Structure formats: C-alpha cells, structure tokens
Amino acid sequence: MSEQLPALKDALALGLTEAEYELVCEKQGSPPNQVELAMYSLLWSEHCAYKHSKKLLMTLPTEGPAVVMGPGENAGAVDVGDGLICAFKVESHNHPSAVEPFQGAATGVGGILRDIFAIGARPIAVLDSLRFGDIEASERSRYLLEHAVAGIGHYGNSIGVPTVGGEVYFEAAYEKNCLVNAMALGLGPREQLMRSAAAGVGNVVLIYGASTGRDGIGGASVLASAELGDADDDKRPTVQVGDPFEEKKLMECSLELLELGLIVSLQDLGAAGLTSSACEMASKGEVGIDIDVRKVPLREADMEPFEIMVSESQERMLCVIEPKDVDAVRAICDKWEVSSAAIGEVTDTRLMRIYSDAELVGEMPVEALVDDCPIYDLQPQKPSEPLYDAPPQRLDPSASLSDSLLALVGSPNISSRRPLFEQYDPIVQSRTVRRPEQADAAVLALPNGSALAVSIDGNGRRVAADPYQGTLGVVLECASNLACVGAQPLGTTNNLNFGNPEKPHVAWQLSEAVRAIADACTALEAPIVGGNVSLYNEGASGPIFPTPVIGMVGLMPDVSRAGRLGFVEEGETIALVGPFSPSLDASELSKLRGEPLPDGLPEVDIEAVRAVQLVVRDAVREGLVDSAHDIAEGGIAVALTECALAASLGAAVTLDGQGDVWQALFGEASGGFIVCGHATAIAQLSERTELIVIGKVGGDELRIEVGDEVIELALSDLRTSHRSLEALFQ
C-alpha cells in the first residue's frame, strides 16, 4: 500500500479523539493510511457508532406481537395482516439543514425513503417534525423554515409519496440548530422482507443508482457529530444534493429486483456512503468484503480512493447478488435507466479490503471498524441552574381571557400550519383518508378495508422543564392521537435530538428521556422498532431544548370509522373525557407571558391515561362518538377552538368554575379528550369512563363559561387569528 500516512492532527480534524486514534493504531497494528483513517473516522463517529447512546438504547422495549423486524435494520416493520408488513422509521437531517436548508431537508426525505424500500416495502407516506428559532424575531429562522419546507415538498411531491402529517414548533433554543426530522412508512409483502447482512462467499457486491461525487464528504464524521459554530458556511460543501427523479427510478428498480428474488442482501448508501453500507453488511453477515473503487461509477474522474469511500452522494444502493444473476440484475437496472456496476465480492477474510485497480489501498478488520468503537458511559447530572432563558413576553398577564385565547390561537406554536402543509401533496397514491387539520393522526387505507394511522409528536419545551415527565407526555400524546382516530398502536420509532452528551446536564436530559420512552412504550405495548439519535445540537449559547420525537403507527379494523377532530352536527353533545388535571407549568400560555421554565412537571399517571385511550379508541370504532380530539398545547380552550374551526361550527360550553380559571382553560396535561356525539351515545360512553358533559355544538361563535367568567368569540375572529402564520409568508 502506497497511501501516505496521516498524522494525529488529521485524525483530530476528522472527529476522532487522541485516545481513539491510538486505539485505531492498535487495532490496525500500525498507523492507518488515508483511506483507513477516513473509514475509521466515519464508522467511529457519533452519527454511525452511537457511542454515547448505545447503552441507553439497549434499555428500550423492542419486542411485541406485531413486530417482524426490530432495531438494527434499515427500518423496523410490523405485521398489518393479510401477509402485509408496514415498514417505518424516523431520522434526522438537522446539521445539514442548518447549513443548507433546502438540500438538507430534501435529502433527509430521500434518505428515509431509501430506508423503507431497502427492506422491501413501497413508501406510502412521509411525515415531518420540525423545530426552528423565534420565527417572529429571526429572519434566519424564517429563511430556514421556508427553505426546509420547500425541500421537503420538492422531494416528496416529485417522487410521488404523500406528506400526510407532521408538526413544527418555534423556540429560541433552536435558533442555531434547527431540527429537521423525517418519518416514512411503507407497505410490502412479508415474504419479500429484505435484510442487509451480506452472505455467500464469492457473491458479487454491486452498486446501482446515481454516480458518486464529492458531495457529502465528511458529513457523518464532522457535520453530524459535532457542534455547529460560527463558521457554518465552511461546511456547506458537505451537504448532499438530492435528485428525487433519480430516486424514483432507483425505488422502482429496487422493488422489481426484490420481487424477482435477485438480491441476497440490500443496503442504502446514506451517512458514510460506501464505507458504512459495505462495512455494516459485512459485520452483520460475519464475512469480509473486497471493493475496487475504480469500478465505482464516478461523476468526477479525479476522485481519490478515500473520497470515493466516504462520499455521501444520494440515490445509491449497494446489494449482494449471486454471480449467475449479475446480467439479470444489470438488465433490470438498464430497464429503469439506473447505472450499475459490480465493484467487489464477499470473502471469508472478515476484512474490508479496498483496492484501486490492482493496488491494495486499505485493509481493516471488519470487527475493528464496526464493533470495536469505544462505547462511553454517560455522566448524567441534573443542572443546578436553569439552562434556558425565559422567553420574551408577548402577552400581558393582565390580558382578558378572550384576548388570551386569541393570542394563543394565533401564536406560532398553535396557529394553522396550512401555509406549510399546502406545499405538500397529501393525497397522491389515493390512500389518504385523514390528512392535516382533519384528525389528530393521519389515516391511510389498506387494501382489505382496514387502515393504518400514524402520528409524530414532540414537545421540547415540556421536556426541557422535566425530561422524564415531559417525555412521558410526548409518547402518550402520540398514542392519544391514534386513539382519536380509532387505532391501536403496533409499534414506535423515535429520533432523539439532544445537545452535547459529554456534558453532564445533557447526559441527564438524554438518560431521563430514554427512561420515559421505555416506561411509556412498555405500558402502551408499543415497542420501539427503530429510530435515530442526533446529538451535539448546540452552539455557544447552549443546547437545544431536549427534543425526543416519537412516531407511532397503529391499526384500525374499519377505515370507514376513522375518527375526525372537528364537530360534526348542530345540537350534538360535547364531553370532556379522561383524568385531565391541567397545569400552567411550561404551557404555551406561560411562554406567551414570558415566564421561565419550571423545575419539574406534575406526575403523569400512565396507566390512567392508557385506560382512557382504550375507551376513546373503542368509542370511535363503534361510532359512539362522531369526533374526538386530545387536549394538548393551549389546553381545553384551544382544543375546543380547533374542533370548532375544523367544522365551521360553534359551541356553547360550561366548565367547572371551581379552582383557577386560567388553569382550567389553558392548562396542559396528558389524558384529556374532547368528544362529540348524540346525547344517547354520550350517555352510553359515560358508563365506561370518567366523563363530564360540558356543552352543545351550534352557532357561529365559541362561548366558554367558567364560573363568573365568559369567553365569547366569533368563529370568524378565531379563524383570522388562527391563520396568523400566513402573514409571515406574504
């Protein structure tokens, strides 16, 4: 091997520590050359090795009756009946989106779609979870939002996969580090399920899809595994550039190859490119792989071997096939106008050997690359001082109840997302039954008359106040959203967005959040089937709000009974269901008033919330209620407003006047639902659960009476306020 040996400073520049570099030298038996160092730096990065989170992730529940593929593969999968599986996963593209929001968000969608069809499922839906800085005060945050949303719409719309749901929140803590999390679902035959472990000594390793360029180099080892600083513009070249039309061809080609049984194993090329895909395939299969970089189709002829191995160019797949099938596979690739090339073979050496024509330019033990990365113990410690500044005051605490409701309904975190989701196609493929602002969860029809429901949720503000209780609330809200459309959870995916885990206060946030996810998913019988971790999301001013994002998929037996959130009919009865004990701590009202985050939140009774979710789910399935909506940000007053605006039907409501009026109207907590139905049906429901009849549907205004206080607002005024986000896009 003639590659020049890099110095320690090169290893440090690639994200390795001095101790890690010494360990690499020990595993190699000598200092690594340029190719070897590049590959180690990628596979030993936080993004690929999960070296600060792996031990925590092992505490999550991963088994359940519906689970057919759990963590460790490109995506998880659950059984949805009739021989079909639903594959799903959520991942982040946070740091790339902070540097180049359009391409960062677009390639985030492209990457998560490849994870789905890599296991043999056709993508049927995308959801997104977004976080940006103060949209009202920051031009940068508005720029990031506009371009990230445009990137998501561009990729999803172009490839023909509907974007059916999502969420977006604005907090000052995300000013330097926006969050762009993308979730995708797919459907496929169970017998076509594909794994990524390489197998069969002598089998051919073949790359197909787009050609390889210099875009994305260093993305996993540097951009996604370190804090962003003031020199972010210097990292712009490390953001990948996506082509959804190329991915459409790649997807159809992959699905046909799988249907014909021509592939032994399959892996997409995402973070760390060829390095990650080939090494992980070899590790899972307990084999070795030889690759000749000069056989890789390139878009830039002068690329060095290490550049080819670490490039993160998009729309590429790596597969293992039997030698007799090479011509057939390449013929299918030609049919779809997809480039392909046999670039290597499976060996029994347990080594990754990289060649440049006949010259060996890298040789590394697979075990050292993939399995021997040091795994670190966190040193969690609850901070003694607040981590986050109080928000600016935007609502005078002396404002009236009516003015406060208008302010909440029009606030960036609650107002209508229509200017955003109207940029997405939610109905392509003709499966979508419930889309944004129609129900708490998206609903997608299945061929047998049943349906999938899916929701994605997070609440960084509440998790920042109490990582354990706040995270419990996030998981429970996701399940509540499914209950409101009549679905039973089958499985869960998560994306853990946190700051620098080497800092004790961030380690504490992360540890508490994972503990809560484990407890909640166990109680809900909704195991984790896969996910992603995004750390080092912070800048000089400190970490982002700790933001565990939860995606949950459920099943309902009858698509025609899918629930909705809007009131349905004049004269129907409105009821409050569940063990709802609202608090203003870390609420949206407290944010508007400029109040600092509290040190802790009230305890959540998981079993009580779970019990009422089952009651609501069954009531929706049986048609006892015509609409159901869980109470979340802004409390019951905002929930009632959303029910009214979704149907253009007003309501007259009377709430318990005892206690704090503000807390009763605007307090937030898990376990509360607004349901609507005929009086006889609501009476039947009251025999099953704790329920309070609070009002009737009708008119063109929302009237809420609490003791001696009254809110009385025309729906037209509420709608004007609710659409305040539109003004930011004019």
**Are residues 610 and 525 in contact, defined by beta-carbon separation less than 8 angstroms?**
no
Residues 404 and 367 in one domain: no
| For residues 346-351, average pLDDT | 98
Residues 270 and 323 in one domain: yes
How far apart are alpha carbons 220 and 446 in whole angstroms? 37
Q: What is the CATH number of the domain that holds 296?
A: 3.90.650.10
pLDDT band at 154 (very low <50, low <70, confident <90, very high): very high
Helix (H, G, I), strand (E, B) or coil at 241: coil
Burial class (CB in 10 A: 0-12, 13-18, 19+), 623: middle
pLDDT, position 227: 58
Q: Is 93 a catalytic residue?
A: yes
Q: What is the pLDDT of residues 23-69, one digit of tens each?
A: 999 999 999 999 999 999 999 998 899 999 999 999 999 999 999 99
Residues 289 and 411 in one domain: no
Q: What angle do CA 257, 71, 61 make, to 5 degrees?
A: 145
**Are residues 578 and 397 in contact, defined by beta-carbon separation less than 8 angstroms?**
no
Q: Which residue has the tokens 């779970």?
A: 610
Q: What angle do CA 576, 577, 581 make, to 5 degrees?
A: 85
Residues 580 and 688 in one domain: yes
Q: What is the pLDDT of residues 692-719, one digit of tens each?
A: 999 999 999 999 999 899 999 999 999 9
Say if 165 falls within a structural domain. no
Residues 212 and 285 in one domain: yes
What is the number of structural domains in the chain?
2
pLDDT, position 260: 97
| For residues 484-502, average pLDDT | 97
Residues 363 and 406 in one domain: no
Catalytic pick from 47, 52, 154, 722?
47
Residues 628 and 713 in one domain: yes
Q: What is the pLDDT of residues 89-126, one digit of tens each?
A: 999 999 889 989 999 999 999 999 999 999 999 999 99
| DSSP state for residue 236 in the 8-state scheme | G
Q: What is the pLDDT of residues 548-562, one digit of tens each?
A: 999 999 999 999 999
Q: Which residue has the tokens 């090339």?
A: 341
pLDDT, position 270: 86
pLDDT, position 500: 95
How far apart are alpha carbons 217 and 239 in whole angstroms? 8
pLDDT band at 726 (very low <50, low <70, confident <90, very high): confident
Residues 585 and 715 in one domain: yes
**Are residues 51 and 376 in contact, defined by beta-carbon separation less than 8 angstroms?**
yes
User: Domain span at residue 348?
Assistant: 194-371
Tell which residue, 643, 587, 304, 635, has the closest CA to residue 461: 587
Judged against a pLDDT cut of 80, whether residue 217 lies above it is answered with no
Say if 649 falls within a structural domain. yes
Burial class (CB in 10 A: 0-12, 13-18, 19+), 262: middle
Going from the C-alpha of 696 to that of each of 485, 572, 617, 625, 719, the distances in angstroms are 21, 6, 22, 14, 20
Say if 287 falls within a structural domain. yes
- Give 442's strand partners: 454
How far apart are alpha carbons 726 and 730 in whole angstroms? 7
| For residues 635-648, average pLDDT | 98
How far apart are alpha carbons 551 and 714 in whole angstroms? 35
Judged against a pLDDT cut of 80, whether residue 177 lies above it is answered with yes
Say if 144 falls within a structural domain. no
Judged against a pLDDT cut of 80, whether residue 506 lies above it is answered with yes
Residues 705 and 579 in one domain: yes
pLDDT, position 221: 47
pLDDT, position 218: 61
Q: Is 678 a catalytic residue?
A: no
Residues 208 and 272 in one domain: yes
**Mean of the per-residue pLDDT values of the chain:** 94
Say if 477 falls within a structural domain. no
Q: What is the pLDDT of residues 358-385, one digit of tens each?
A: 999 999 999 999 999 999 999 999 999 9
Judged against a pLDDT cut of 80, whether residue 641 lies above it is answered with yes
- Give 35's strand partners: none
Residues 420 and 359 in one domain: no
Q: What is the pLDDT of residues 59-90, one digit of tens each?
A: 999 999 999 999 999 999 999 999 999 999 99
Judged against a pLDDT cut of 70, whether residue 198 lies above it is answered with yes
- Give 184's strand partners: 89, 126
Say if 420 falls within a structural domain. yes
Say if 63 falls within a structural domain. no
Q: Between the CA atoms of 190, 196, 202 and 208, what dihedral angle is there, to the nearest 10 degrees?
A: 100
Query: How are the residues of the chain apportioned to helix, strand and coil, as percentages rounded to the nearest 5?
Result: 40, 25, 35
Residues 335 and 421 in one domain: no
Say if 172 falls within a structural domain. no
- For the chain, count helices (H), then strands (E): 24, 28
Residues 6+ apart with CB under 8 A from 8: 18, 21
Q: What is the pLDDT of residues 227-271, one digit of tens each?
A: 555 444 444 445 778 899 999 999 999 999 999 999 999 999 988
**Are residues 193 and 266 in contact, defined by beta-carbon separation less than 8 angstroms?**
no
Catalytic pick from 93, 95, 154, 629?
93
Count of CB atoms situated within 10 Å of the CB of 701: 17
Three-state SS annotation for 535-582: CCCEECCEECCCEEEEEEEEEECCHHHCCCCCCCCCCCEEEEECCCCC
Residues 6+ apart with CB under 8 A from 153: 163, 423, 424, 425
